[in-house]
Structure 1
């Protein structure tokens, strides 16, 4: 660090300290004029905020201990994520891919069967040759049979 940056850091800290002192003094002066019920509500809110902060601090201290214990139990059971962990992670992926392949096969089979049904109807029906060139023939084929 250079001497200039040291001085600017010290200057910034002193400015922050002076601002904090002025704000605290102004708040203290005006605190005497605040009605009693508002003072009590502020005190109650302060106590709740402090209680919540203490609880958060306690849970953050105990969380890593629980996470380490859970990780150790998993490592003991599965052998540090060896074969069984890999198998458990790979099986859902294989099943997903297999399902997608089966869906694709089923959809294409349905399309082929629908086209074969239409072809069979066309070839088995007695139609004049002019029907094949008629623009309304497609609508005729789509219409339900009586």
Structure 2
């Protein structure tokens, strides 16, 4: 077992109690079977991983200044967390999304219009062509229309 006690506590009574608990657990650890000690080790590793994730998540993010070099001059610029300019970055980030949406809408409208134009051309060809009324009831007429559509 690990005899290390964190230096984060400031209560000496709690430290003494923790040391006694660790000493007692260390005494009993030698008597445990191998499979139980392995499960305890795995549980300890999971607990440490959770503690590390919680510590990283609770740590505040601080933006550090960035030095931008441009030719013979240097300018100081703030990171993402600098004051003023967050709205500008959000606006600039939204422009490509808006352009994509406008493009998709235009493509959809164009496709609908093209489909309507094709149907109108077929209808106009049928209505202006000289066909006897019996042709419309002929079972092969649908096949004729399908094959003639590709030729238009």
Q: TM-score, normalised by structure 2?
A: 0.47
Would you tell me which structure has more helix in proportion to its own residues? 1
* Structure with greater proportional strand content: 2
